[in-house]
Amino acid sequence: MRIRPFLESDTEALIALWQRCGLTRPWNDPRRDILRKLDVQREWFLVGETDRQLVASVMAGYDGHRGWVNYLGVDPSHQRRGLGGLLMQAVETRLQAAGCPKINLQIRHDNNAAVGFYAALGYVEDATHSFGKRLIDEQDSTPPPSAASSSREVVLASRNTKKLREMQALLSPLGWRVRAVSEFSDEEPEESAVSFVENALIKARHAAATSGLPAIADDSGLEVAALGGAPGVRSARYAGVHGDDQANNQKLIESLAAIQGADRSARFVSLMVYLRHPDDPTPIVAEGAWRGRILEAPQGDSGFGYDPLFYVPETACSAAELAPEIKNAISHRGRAAALLQQRLHEC
């Protein structure tokens, strides 16, 4: 990726990029933001391009005390390639050369994906409050109603109490009350599909039908490269009995006994769906992935499932050793939930 200063001829392509990245808001005029930035430290308004197409951007600045960053975005089709990290490295190099001792960031409370991204780059949360006062009313500052803006109840297609608590925390920015499907039915639908998304839809349709509420379902699993993607969709019943974490972990250890080092690479995958009703023809689907490797022995006693065996390189510990708020920010389920919230706001 080639990183260069923003040019005024980039304006329309940049606004389209921001829209694809979900960075624009009805109460902020992106064109005015661009014009203002061109008047203030325009040399730190950077874009990235590949094959002459604009695929990334960042606005940076330095006020003599702290550096700041806004509008960092990478085209969804180019994400997970390290481009955001390259842009931040370019910003940090420029700010450090200018004598800037520290960068301060503001991240929306519901943007778990951004929290995980910056945490992986070494940024830590400060014990501060963020205050703002609008000085110029560019337009009505009240966001339009959306599927995510009203207080409501939703049913989670899971009987796992730990997953329920985790999902309640992940969806807390929406202000929704999350209820377990076990409140409404003792039946469990057969997860007979061969893909995560199909199994999530099976569970969500059942939960919506039995509860009369909109439903969210998450079908997650562990994919180990050396095992050809297993346990995959059978992760919860890898050892034969659904939900037996200890047996599943033991089988995974035995299956990888002859595999060493980098060949133990793996990833957690989450496919999350939202249905307005059981027959919803246009479900909202979001996905998330979390890469790591499988340990030779369990570590930690938090989390559930394969968490004790899943080593997370960016935190240098197992998923079961992470504080819940850190795990929720960087996990596969946290990333899927953040994307789901974004798509709910768009509909």
pTM of the model: 0.55
Range with the poorest average pLDDT among 106-110, 147-151, 227-231, 305-309: 147-151
Is 306 annotated as belonging to a binding site? yes
Average pLDDT, the chain: 89
Residue of higher predicted confidence among 134 and 264? 264
Instruction: Please say if the pLDDT value at position 38 is more than 60.
Output: yes
243, containing H or E segment: none
pLDDT digits (tens, 9 = 90+) for 71-127: 999 999 999 999 999 999 999 999 998 999 999 999 887 788 889 999 999 999 998
Q: Which residues are catalytic?
A: 219
What pLDDT shows up at residue 138?
Answer: 62
Is 39 annotated as belonging to a binding site? no
Task: Categorize the per-residue pLDDT at 165 as very low, low, confident or very high, splitting at 50, 70 and 90.
Answer: confident
Is 304 annotated as belonging to a binding site? yes
Using CA atoms, how far apart are residues 93 and 100, in angstroms rounded to an integer? 10
Is 138 annotated as belonging to a binding site? no
Strand order in the sheet with 310-312: 177-180, 153-156, 215-224, 265-275, 284-294, 310-312, 317-318
What pLDDT shows up at residue 43?
Answer: 84
Q: In whole angstroms, how far apart are CA 235 and each of 44, 191, 222?
A: 46, 12, 6
What pLDDT shows up at residue 142?
Answer: 42
> Average pLDDT for residues 9-22, to the nearest whole number?
91
Hey, what CATH topology would domain 2-106 get? Aminopeptidase (3.40.630)
Q: In whole angstroms, how far apart are CA 216 and each of 149, 167, 202, 291, 334?
A: 16, 10, 11, 24, 14
Q: Cβ(92)–Cβ(105) under 8 Å?
A: no
Is 131 annotated as belonging to a binding site? no
Is 302 annotated as belonging to a binding site? no
What pLDDT shows up at residue 153?
Answer: 85
SS3 of 334, please?
helix
Sequence spans of domains, the chain: 2-106, 153-346
Is 263 annotated as belonging to a binding site? no
Return the exposure string of 180-191: e unless at least 16 CB atoms fall within 10 Å of the residue's CB, then b: bbbebeeeebeb
Is 195 annotated as belonging to a binding site? no
Residue with tokens 């039946």: 187
> Average pLDDT for residues 62-66, to the nearest whole number?
94
CATH-assigned architecture of domain 153-346: Alpha-Beta Complex (3.90)
Is 160 annotated as belonging to a binding site? yes
pLDDT above 90 covers a percentage of the chain that reads: 59
CA-wise closest residue to 58 among 90, 10, 97: 90
CA-wise closest residue to 54 among 20, 31, 25: 20
What pLDDT shows up at residue 208?
Answer: 92
